Amino acid sequence: MQIGNTPVPERRIDVGDITVYADPAHAALATGLAEAASVPHDWLGLGRLDPGRLLLIVANDRADFARWSRGRLPSWGAGAAFPGSRVVIIRLDAGDPYQTLRHELAHVALHRKVPGRVPLWFDEGYAVLAAAEYGRFAALRLNLAVATGTIPELRALDGALRGSDGDAETAYALAGSAVAELARRSRNGDLGELLRPLEAGVPFDAAVASATGFTIDRFEEVWTRSVRQHYNWLVWLATGGMWLIVTMALMWAAASRKRREAPRRAALDVGWPQPPEDDGTITIQEVEPHQLDPLDPRS
């Protein structure tokens, strides 16, 4: 079987409406993923949804993932969702596959309910929150650029989400924080206030204004200020930055001391004779135990 020009692994497993293809060596894990995908889930602001028919591809590694995504996504990605064609790809060597699956299913759920386009930062930020990937926010606490106030505009997040691995990890956390701020600023603190007009086909900027009372530009200012309040120098120092500073200071002190002592060490070496060369021979007398004379009081 093929999807486009890409050959599908031979092992096919059907679980309800989920069809999964995987290397036969990973049949048990593939079955577990299909079972997890087949049951209805409660999705943030969207309610309980049945996943419907879905094709699940289990990629062994980075090369497999790059081939399945046809180079359209960064090769460091752990998973991918194509809601229009109802295809999800899960990479086995990039973290917990079940966590990745929930993230990708969140994309499928969002696009199943929301017919119009949404910004990439909202799409990914929604998946981060819906999949409860709160560990991603550690990237903000330990990110010096964020601590110093270097926060990209929302539109710039789209590029960062498809950038290098390190930049993307921070971008995912920032996108999640932006969607969390949208929920907090919505009436009753409910993200459904934003999602319901989106489900009805209202354009994204208008839906934000309806749910929060802010234009998208005004919301961006509010979100940026919130990030600076929550992830600043004090937070960075308290969550690991101080240890980095101490480590660097100790390394600098050690290097400085070595440089200062170099002339003195060189002077001490002047005039000292070289030790005789050792031919490496050890006699048996050097290693055998001394015989004790019972009449010798020293023994």
pLDDT in tens, 150-175: 678 898 888 888 877 667 777 888 89
Task: Name the residue ranges covered by the structural domains of the chain.
Answer: 1-113, 117-254
Mean of pLDDT values over 141-155: 65
Q: Tell me, what's the pLDDT at 132? A: 85
pLDDT in tens, 67-79: 887 777 777 788 9
Average pLDDT over residues 2-12: 59
pLDDT at 286 over 50: no
0.85 surpassed by pTM = no
Residue-wise burial string across 242-254, b where 16 or more C-beta atoms lie within 10 A, e elsewhere: eeeeeeeeeeeee
pLDDT beyond 80 at 31: yes
Mean pLDDT of the chain: 77
Name the CATH superfamily for 1-113. Collagenase ColT, N-terminal domain (3.40.30.160)
Looking at residue 285, its pLDDT comes to 44
Question: CA 116 to CA 110: how far, in whole Å?
Answer: 10
pLDDT digits (tens, 9 = 90+) for 40-64: 999 999 999 988 899 999 998 888 8
Bridge partners (DSSP) listed for residue 13: 20
Q: Mean pLDDT lowest for which of 91-95, 149-153, 177-181, 254-258?
A: 254-258
For 65-88, letters b (16+ CB in 10 Å) and e give bbebbeeebbeebbbbbbbeebbb
Instruction: Flag whether pLDDT at 191 surpasses 90.
Output: yes
| pLDDT at residue 272 tops 90 | no
